Structures are given as structure tokens and as C-alpha cells.
Amino acid sequence: MARRILLFCIWFSLTACGIKSAVPENNPGTAQPTSLPAILTGPDTAGVFRPSACPFVLPEGIVEGKDVECGFLPVYEQPNGSDSANQRIIRLAIAVFHPPGGATQPDPVLYLSGGPGASILKLIHSQYEILSKPVFDTGRSLIVFDQRGVGVSQPELDCPTYRTLSMELLDRQIDGKSISEQEIRSLILGSIKSCRDDLAQSADLGAYNSQNSAADVHQIVTSLGFQRVNLWGGSYGTRLALEVMRLYPDDLRSVILDAVYPPDADLYLEGPANFQRSLTRLFASCGENPVCSENYPELETVFFNTVARLDEQPVYLDIWDPYTGDEHKTLVNGNTLMVLTFQLLYDSRVRYFIPQIIYDVSQDDFHYLEISYSSLLALSGLSNRGMMFSVQCHEEVPFSSFNQFQVEIERYPQLAGMYQGAILGDLIYEACEVWSVGKAGEQANQPVSSVIPALILSGEFDPITPPDWGNKVAESLVNSFAFEFPGIGHGAGVSHPCPLNMMSTFLRDPGTQPDDSCLLDMQ
């Protein structure tokens, strides 16, 4: 029982920060409402909001019609298409949460979730309190919606066959027989192609990208009758927010960018360097801390020695799925420890597990690794991979090459095992050839210049969107305020009272730099 309690503590901490797992995926049986609303009948009219019952689990104590209003907004699949009469219409699931007593300000906060492909509505029951606090503190309503192709929006671009295969490959075996890495890559590419073929029967996969999602945001603002909104983007949501700033500046009063993913940064080519930076900071911070350095000396050496040993002598463990209760035989090698460390660096509340996990594994004690890995396994099914491939294969991957990626990996040979898959690794280049959604225009790879007030938040230990990316974006946002938060990982705004309070201050007066004296208490 203690093992399961700790597992759920880790799981809740990670989901509160919106972490998307890089471990092989499964459908974790995410909690669903006891009864989904009936599919809306009658014709849709693009741009006309249609109220409905909320198609997700409501936060505790929230009452439909009083605290929240839900519905679907029909939009064109190709917003800029010339022939609207023959356009396919898709539906965006939207929820507008109101502060107690009602909003006192006319400009709500519109939240943009990460991924790409992460559903905010499926997780709002666990994230509501922390997302609503800085918004309600300023007398504003909170708008959350699942982006096109995501979650309870229709259609949902998911790849269940890919997820099922990933679970089958946890032990690197098929029908009890070990298979090579090349065979695994071929199987994964085959499942991605199968998913693409299935989804393409009912969706134009080339229409699911940041430019069209930005048009959706504009449509939400106008259809719900708002003059202006405040955007709050997290992780990939910052990239979408920047695109809205570029294309629809008149819709915006202010923007909060948390864990910034700039359009002119390269998630793949810069990935190894970003992870190495975070690792270096982790090991240095342990060495600077008397308690950590005494209990876990030479942490960097122990880490990489353990990774190398596990690569030479992997072990099999039974990893428990906290949702289904199933146990999965799993091959644990050096890459497993690497991936786990990468994910735990996301959140300052679980980062403190890392030194003990490293030392325990170095002494063949896998207890806490099993608990942490199980938690991440549960999270892995919360992102729609079809949407992720459509976005990344259109506007990120085409601006680099497999050969360039290999050059970057060669600079960090100790991290090579992290970068062989189809999510953050070299297989993404072949996967995008299979996905075949074309290349975005050059603008998608250019920085955004704007005078809209912006608050930029970065975490010291963030392994995927480093503070330098936040500073880079600040250079072309002339009315921006950029801050790096000590001890924080990926997503400062949902991690600590200091950035939360600074967000509230900024929303009240976006033209004035918020007081940052609370950073001194975060060391």
C-alpha cells in the first residue's frame, strides 16, 4: 500500500505540471465522466458556439451553469480555405470557468496547453485549482479548451495502435523472442503509418498545425463575444501563443509565456544540449548542498557509470500500471534511467528523488525506480500522438535534417540512448516522411516581434525548454519581463507561489514589471 500511495503522490505532482512522458505509451484508463453528453444533433455553423453538457470530469465542487459553461465551437478544418461550402467542420471543446461571485474584469484568461497534443480538459479536475488561482485572484474568468485534434475536441487525432505496440515492446520482445533495435524501429514506423492511414480517412492531417490553431483562438475570442483576452501558454502552448501574437495581435491584452518554446528554436537539434545543461545543473546543485553531497557524493560519476552498466547488463522488472492494475514485464537499461531522470527534472517537487534513485539503482535497488517509472507510464497515454506528429512534422522537423541531428548527438555520446525514438529522437525524421503533411512557410521558423506586454517564466532545471529560450524570445518582445526561477523545472507558473503571485500582479497591470523579490526566498 505504501508503494501505491507514493506512486500516486508522484503521479499527481507530475500531472499538475502537465508533464508528457517520453516512456513507451499505453492507454492508462484516464478517468472519464460517468456519462458523456450526447453527440450534438442538427447542423453545425462555423463560428457559432453550441452550449452542451461538460464532456469531462468536473473539478470537485464546480457546478455546471453556475461555475462553468461548456460547449463546442464548430470551426473550419482549413480556416483559410477558399471554398467554405465544401469545407469539413470540426468541433473545439470549450469550458469557461467563472470566479466565485462572477468576473469583475471584461478580459478573461485563455489557457493554451502543451504537447503538442495534450488535453487540458481531460485533466482539468486535477489542475483546476492551480490554474484558476492567479486568474480568479484578478477577477477574471478562465477559458480552457482542447485544441484541434486533441482530447474531447472532435476529431481526436490519436494513435492507439502505436500506444499498444509501445506497451508490447516494453520488454523488447515479440511473442517471447528478443528483437533487435532495427526491428523495433521498423515496427514503430509501421504503426505510425497505420495510424496515419486510419486518421487520414476522416481528417486532413495537414490542417492540424499551429497556424490553424491560432485561427481557432481568434475564432474563440470573437465567437464568445470578447474584445480582448489574456493568453497563458505553457510549453508548446507558448509557441501557439506566439503565433497568435504574430497573426492576431488585436485580440490580446497581455500574454504569459511559461516554459518558452520559440518558433526559431529547434526542439530536436538543441535537445541533447538542453538536457545536458539540466543534468549539469542537477549534479552541481547536489555538490553545492552539504546534505546532498554527503549522502550522494560524485553523483555525476555514479549516474553515468550506472547508465553504462545497465546498458551492458539490463534487468527485467515488473512495472505496475496504477490505472489498470496490470503489471508489464519491462527491460530496464541505461536509457530507462536516463528517460526517468529527464522526466523527473520537469518538476521541482519530485526532482529531490533523483539522487536517491540514482544511488539505489547503482546498488541494484530498483524500488523507487519502479514507483517513478510506473507513474510516468500512467501519464504516457494523456497526449494525442497523431496531433503531435501533424504539428511537429509540419513546422519543426522540416527545418532540420537527420544528418544534422546525428552531428548533435555525436557531441553528447553519453546521452545517445535518449534520442533514438519517434518522439524526441532521430526516428522522428523517418516518422515525418511517413506522416507526410508538408512543410510550413518560412514564417513558422522566424521569431515573433510584438509590443504586447508579456511575462516570460523559465525554470532553472528545465530539461527541454531552457531559460535561454525565454531570454531569446524576450529580445523581440519589447514590452516583456523575463524571469528565471531557482529550483524550478518545466512550468514555473504551476510550481510555486512566487511565480503564481507574479502572474496575478502582471495580469492586474501588464505594463509594470512585477516585484521579483520573492525569488530570493526560492534559493
CA distances from 21 to 33, 48, 312, 376, 515 (A): 24, 36, 25, 6, 34
CA–CA dist 151, 384 (Å, integer): 7
SS3 135: helix
> Does the residue 233 lie in any domain?
yes
CA distances from 106 to 197, 228, 229, 249, 502 (A): 44, 8, 8, 17, 21
Q: Please count the residues of the chain.
A: 523
CA–CA dist 504, 493 (Å, integer): 10
> Does the residue 47 lie in any domain?
no
- Cis bond leading into 155, ω under 30°? yes
- What value, to the nearest 5°, has the Cα angle with vertex 505 and ends 459 and 58? 75
> Does the residue 446 lie in any domain?
yes
CATH number at residue 251: 3.40.50.1820
Give the CB-side neighbour count of residue 281, counting CA atoms within 13 A.
21
> Does the residue 174 lie in any domain?
no
CB atoms within 10 A of CB 378: 26
CA–CA dist 229, 150 (Å, integer): 22
Domain that holds residue 88: 1-17+54-156+197-523
> Does the residue 226 lie in any domain?
yes
Q: What is the pTM of this model?
A: 0.91
User: Dihedral sign, CA of 459, 460, 464, 468?
Assistant: positive
Under 8 Å between Cβ of 92 and 216: yes
> Does the residue 28 lie in any domain?
no
Which DSSP letter does residue 452 get? S
> Does the residue 172 lie in any domain?
no
The residue to which cell 560519476 is assigned: 301
> Does the residue 37 lie in any domain?
no
Tally the domains of the chain: 1
Each residue's pLDDT, cut to its tens digit, for the chain (523 residues) gives 334 434 434 433 443 333 333 333 333 233 333 233 334 555 789 999 999 999 999 999 999 999 999 999 999 999 987 666 678 999 999 999 999 999 999 999 999 999 999 999 999 999 999 999 999 999 999 999 999 999 999 999 999 988 888 888 988 988 888 999 999 999 999 999 999 999 999 999 999 999 999 999 999 999 999 999 999 999 999 999 999 999 999 999 999 999 999 999 999 999 999 999 999 999 999 999 999 999 999 999 999 999 999 999 999 998 887 766 778 889 999 999 999 999 999 988 888 889 999 999 999 999 999 988 888 777 766 789 999 999 999 999 999 999 999 999 999 999 998 998 888 999 999 999 999 999 999 999 999 999 999 999 999 999 999 999 999 999 999 999 999 999 999 998 888 889 999 999 999 999 999 999 999 988 6
